[in-house]
Amino acid sequence: MFDSVVNFLLYAVPILLILAWYIRRHSSTETSSLETLKTAKEEGLMEPPTLHPEIDHQLCIGCTNCVAACPEQGAHQVLGMIRKKANLVGPTNCIGHGACKTVCPVNAITLVFGTAQRGVDIPRVDPNFQTNVPGIFIAGELGGMGLIRNAVEQGRQAMQSIKELVRTPHRNELDVVIIGAGPAGFSATLSATEAKLRHTTVEQEELGGTVAHFPRRKLVMTQPADLPLVGKMRFTEVQKETLIEFWREVEKKTGIQISYNERVESIDPAPNGGFVVKTNRGSHDTRTVLLCIGRRGSPRKLGVPGEEMGKVVYRVIDAAQHRNQNVLVVGGGDSALEAAASIAAEPGTKVTLCYRSAAFSRAKPKNRELVERMRSDGKLRILFNSNVQTIQEGVVEIETEADIEAIPNDAVIVSAGGILPSAFLRTVGIHVETKWGSE
């Protein structure tokens, strides 16, 4: 009898200890997840900025694979477990990696754009990146993918689809015209070169596309990516300047040709099939077109008196040019917060950050924490629930919750996002859909 009791305890005690550890661990995880979700709701941070997971709790088995796979999880909680089901507890921290969907064993996760409260305009493309206009493809940010790694991969995959399409004999001079030399366009150009396709790449500004317009020393990439002809870009964290310099070296070593300062004016059907791409330098006869132009067709303006003044700009390249100035930054996204913080760090500046809403719901936590710290240190002033009324020489008028306030001003930085180039897309015949929490 005694031996039986001893044997029972030998087996039962470890099992009970493991069970207690499991319950305690999951209880702690749920508490943390509930607190994160509560904070997000209280601060109005419930709108994901880009592609994000929608979790079907009828299918979710609570395996926690998605939580472990999220690359952002180490820096801030994005996914959590509540009542043994996965939940998006930090919506604004999700930046669209999509790793959660990949590791879900029961297909309980769908990646969607927009929410029921906020729609996102996305051009319609099929799984091969082809639009509703046969022969015109879209890759990268224009299609809703903001991550550099995703854009690089899409550029490569889209070119593989184009390669299959142009195998059929055609009478055009080129197989493809690539429009844009940002991450997707650069990757597509390398892929087209590797595949020996007849191609040309046109870029209206400079190498890097949207990345080239980021503030100096901005961290732009946190995960490695594979480039055609080159292999893996072995960066874990890299600043804008380092990444663009790497791309310049790749451009030089591979001999790829990119036509800079060439702006596309129209894309029209060609008489013999395919398209004629007209630019400020001439025209290109091509079987296919790959659009990698980003989402900022033009900066969103304020529409207030005085906005046409020379002191009003829509991006910051070098914060040092604003030393000893009174600067107003308008916006609540990452670009606005990064601009405000970088300028406020310069000697002699007085920076005011003006935002129409009550919280920076679209910005990453590290940027929100940075501007809050600078505000606490007296280096930066933040005006929530405020709108610019007029811009004048030496002063701007801002409507706040209390009154109309006039503040001294030497420069205005408008970081209110960009307007999707919908008009251009419509002239080409491409359909644009507003996604309200759908794939």
CA 343/CA 325 separation, integer angstroms: 9
* pLDDT band at 433; cut points 50, 70, 90: confident
HEC profile of 362-409? CCCHHHHHHHHHHHHCCCEEEECCCEEEEEECCEEEEECCCCEEEEEC
Model confidence band, residue 15 (pLDDT cutoffs 50, 70, 90):
low
Query: Percent of the chain at pLDDT above 90?
Result: 53
3-class state of residue 48 by DSSP: coil
**189 CB-near residues (< 8 Å, 6+ apart):** 178, 181, 199, 201, 256, 258
pLDDT-wise least confident of 29-38, 84-93, 116-125, 178-187: 116-125
Categorize the per-residue pLDDT at 62 as very low, low, confident or very high, splitting at 50, 70 and 90.
very high
Residue 234 has pLDDT above 90, yes or no: no
Domains, the chain, with CATH or none: 2-112 (3.30.70.20), 121-297+420-435 (3.50.50.60), 300-418 (3.50.50.60)
**What is d(CA 148, CA 268) in angstroms, rounded to the nearest whole number?**
30
The predicted structure's pLDDT at residue 340: 95
- pLDDT band (50, 70, 90) for residue 312: very high
| Structure token pair of residue 245 | 């310099």
198 three-state secondary structure:
coil
Q: Please determine, for residue 85, whether its predicted confidence score (pLDDT) is greater than 70.
A: yes
What is residue 438's predicted lDDT score, i.e. its pLDDT?
Answer: 67
Range 276-305 average pLDDT: 89
Phi-psi region of 270 (alpha: psi -120 to 50; beta: other; left: phi over 0): beta
Is residue 281 pLDDT above 90, yes or no? yes
Candidate ranges 79-83, 99-103, 135-139, 230-234; pick with highest mean pLDDT = 135-139
Measured between alpha carbons, how far is 91 from 436 in angstroms, rounded to an integer?
15
Tell me the percentage of the chain whose pLDDT exceeds 70. Answer: 89
**pLDDT value at 301 more than 80:** yes
pLDDT of 122 > 90? The answer is: no
Question: Higher-confidence residue: 222 or 117?
Answer: 117
Instruction: Report d(CA 179, CA 297) in Å as an integer.
Output: 13
Mean pLDDT, the chain, whole residue set: 86
Q: Pull the structure tokens for residue 121.
A: 């305009």
The predicted pLDDT at position 333 comes to: 87
List pLDDT tens digits, range 153-211. 899 999 999 999 999 999 999 999 999 999 999 999 999 999 999 999 999 888 988 78
Q: Can you give the pLDDT at residue 402?
A: 86
Alpha carbons 310 and 98: distance in angstroms, whole number: 42
> What pLDDT is attached to residue 110?
92
Residue 435: CA count within 13 A, CB half-sphere: 20
| CA proximity to 140, closest of 111, 194, 178 | 178
What angle, 0 to 180 degrees and rounded to 10, lies between the N-to-C axes of helices 148-165 and 183-194?
40
- Alpha-carbon distance 134 to 168, whole Å? 14
Judged by average pLDDT, the poorest of 121-130, 212-221, 305-314, 340-349 is 212-221
Question: Which two structure tokens, joined as six digits, stand for 164?
Answer: 């299959």
- Residue 250: in which H helix or E strand, if any? helix 240-254
Of 318 and 329, the structure prediction assigns the larger pLDDT to: 329
Q: Does residue 43 have a pLDDT over 80?
A: no
Mention every residue, 6+ apart, whose C-beta is less than 8 A from residue 85: 55, 57, 60, 62
Band the pLDDT of 297: cuts 50, 70, 90. low
Cα maximum dimension of the chain:
97
Buried b (16+ CB within 10 A) or exposed e, 413-428: bbbbbbebbeebbeeb
